[in-house]
């Protein structure tokens, strides 16, 4: 059966921008992508897969790009600095089921930048262009790229990178409104994102510091971007997509989740993590999600402390149940 083009499908509804879960290493595994989809994310993106490790068939790469439940196409992000290896890694991911390949040109961390990958490519436009072109011609699925505004304030080449992306066959570009030098400090510069949108011939997805429905509306209106990507605000709050969608569509978010509904989501996510990663690793990885889910609630800190000191899943479930009962009583 002929599947519709995922990019055309993503941008087909013009009444509001599509909402996209940002790729986040250590966070956007298949269980979390499923959760975000269930709560209204139109697209979700995998954690980045290191292209070198992919072509060596390192087990972890296969896990990272596993499909999630929900309507999002399988969007797999790859990172690296060698055009041939990136192209090969992209082909392997497509063979495994990737429906869109996203290229990471924004990761600021030393370990990645030190190998010439991620945001380091913002400093080498020629190589960046070669990587985009090689990957785009190597696979039959759409290829997109994710960048920052530039390396630092003196070298903001986001507009140039966007032109190169369009010329190199990228179907869309995501722009995180910070420079590499900023890492995660300061505020995302949505004016700069708007300027990139202004000159772009391909769809632009804006990203950075969208944490509320009101901010989502403001960022969309002021920049005119074609899509909004949300990262950290979805940690422990995957229903933010539903809230933003409701606000953009009807002027108000849907009713908040009740404690019972929230409790079910959290417990199910704990089980899903253990099923996906195996009981031991899944339990360890789920701790941070449980931490985010219980952030800001009375007794949340005490709960996190206890959860972090037990290796028994049954005990975690009991602790969670007690915590939920306390929240319901206090409500
Ligand atoms: C824990 C964490 C991991 C991240 N991993 C990736 C990644 O693998 N690839 C990528 O392109 N960006 C990655 N990012 C950046 C996010 O995709 C996003 O651009 C950034 O967090 C800004 O959006 P936000 O303000 O909505 O969080 C990561 C961010 C965080 C916080």
User: With contact defined as beta carbons under 8 Å apart, do 23 and 51 qualify?
Assistant: no
Report the pLDDT averaged over residues 20-46: 98
**Is a pLDDT exceeding 80 seen at residue 184?**
yes
- Residue 1 domain-assigned (yes or no): no
Please give the Cα distance from 297 to 318 (Å, whole number).
18
Residue nearest to atom 19 of ligand 1 (CA): 176
Q: Domain end: 192, 224, 250, which one? A: 250
**10 Å Cβ neighbour count for 292?**
18
Check whether residue 139 and residue 70 sit in a common domain.
yes
Judge if the beta carbon of residue 244 lies within 6 A of ligand 1.
no
Query: Within this chain, do residues 215 and 290 fall inside the same structural domain, yes or no?
Result: no
Question: In terms of domains, do 230 and 287 share one?
Answer: no
Task: Give me the percent of the chain exceeding a pLDDT of 90.
Answer: 93
What the block records as the tokens of 260 is: 């019972």
Domain that holds residue 216: 6-250
107 given a catalytic annotation: yes
Share of the chain above pLDDT 70, in %: 99
Statement to judge: residues 67 and 210 lie in one domain:
yes
pLDDT at 7 over 70: yes
Q: In angstroms, what is the span from residue 27 Cα to ligand 1's centroid?
A: 9
User: If you average pLDDT over residues 212-235, what whole number do you get?
Assistant: 98
112-144 residue pLDDT tens: 999 999 999 999 999 999 999 999 999 999 999
Please determine, for residue 1, whether its predicted confidence score (pLDDT) is greater than 70. no
Structure tokens belonging to residue 269: 């996510």
In a domain, 17, yes or no: yes
**Number of CB atoms found within 10 A of residue 155's CB:** 14
The torsion angles phi and psi of 204, rounded to 5 degrees, stand at -115, 130
How many domains does one find in the chain?
A: 2
The reply to whether 140 and 270 lie within a common domain is: no
Q: Is the domain of 126 the same as that of 52?
A: yes
Considering the candidates 10, 24, 107, 196, report the single residue annotated as catalytic. Answer: 107
Nearest ligand 1 atom to alpha carbon 146 = 11
214 shares its domain with 266: no
Instruction: Give the β-pairing of 227-230 and 204-207.
Output: parallel
| d(CA 110, ligand 1 centre) in Å | 15
Report how far residue 163's alpha carbon sits from residue 126's, in angstroms, rounded to the nearest whole number: 12
Separation of CA 315 and ligand 1 centre (Å): 32
Say if residue 296's pLDDT is above 90: no
Both tokens of residue 275?
């099923």
Q: Are residues 303 and 224 in the same domain?
A: no
Query: Given a cut of 90, is residue 331 above it in pLDDT?
Result: no
Confidence (pLDDT) at 14: 87
pLDDT tens per residue across span 61-84: 999 999 999 999 999 999 999 999
Asked whether residue 123 falls in the same domain as residue 204, the answer is yes
Mean predicted confidence (pLDDT) in 232-236: 98
Single residue among 194, 218, 250 that ends a domain in this structure: 250
User: Residue 173: is it exposed, middle or buried by C-beta count within 10 angstroms (0-12/13-18/19+)?
Assistant: buried
pLDDT-based confidence at residue 330 (cuts at 50, 70, 90): confident
Question: Tell me: the pLDDT tens digits for 266-292?
Answer: 999 999 999 999 999 999 999 999 999
* Rounded average pLDDT over 91-105: 98
Residue 245: pLDDT over 90? yes
């Amino acid at each position: 059966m002929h599947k519709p083009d995922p990019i055309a499908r993503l941008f087909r509804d013009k009444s509001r921008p599509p909402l996209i879960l940002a790729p986040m290493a250590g966070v956007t595994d298949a269980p979390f992508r499923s959760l975000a989809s269930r709560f209204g994310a139109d697209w979700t993106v995998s954690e980045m897969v290191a292209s070198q490790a992919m072509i060596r068939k390192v087990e972890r790469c296969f896990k990272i790009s596993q499909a999630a439940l929900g309507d999002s196409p399988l969007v797999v992000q790859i990172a690296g600095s060698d055009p041939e290896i990136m192209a090969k890694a992209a082909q392997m991911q497509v063979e495994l089921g990737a429906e869109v390949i996203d290229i990471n040109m924004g990761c600021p961390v030393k370990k990645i930048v030190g190998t010439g990958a991620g945001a380091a490519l913002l400093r080498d436009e020629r190589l960046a262009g070669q990587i985009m072109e090689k990957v785009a011609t190597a696979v039959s699925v759409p290829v997109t790229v994710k960048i920052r505004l530039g390396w630092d304030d003196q070298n903001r080449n986001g507009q140039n990178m966007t032109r190169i992306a369009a010329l190199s066959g990228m179907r869309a570009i995501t722009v995180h409104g910070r420079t590499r030098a900023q890492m995660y400090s300061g505020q995302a510069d949505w004016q700069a994102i708007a300027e990139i949108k202004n000159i772009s011939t391909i769809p632009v997805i804006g990203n950075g510091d969208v944490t509320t429905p009101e901010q989502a509306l403001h960022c969309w209106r002021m920049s005119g971007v074609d899509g909004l990507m949300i990262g950290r605000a979805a940690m422990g709050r995957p229903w933010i997509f539903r809230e933003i969608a409701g606000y953009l569509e009807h002027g108000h978010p849907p009713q908040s989740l009740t404690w019972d509904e929230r409790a079910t989501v959290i417990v199910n996510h704990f089980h899903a993590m253990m099923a996906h990663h195996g009981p031991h690793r899944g339990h360890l990885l789920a701790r941070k999600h449980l931490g985010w889910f219980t952030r800001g609630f009375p007794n949340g800190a005490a709960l996190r402390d206890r959860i972090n000191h037990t290796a028994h899943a049954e005990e975690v479930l009991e602790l969670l149940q007690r915590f939920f009962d306390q929240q319901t009583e206090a409500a």
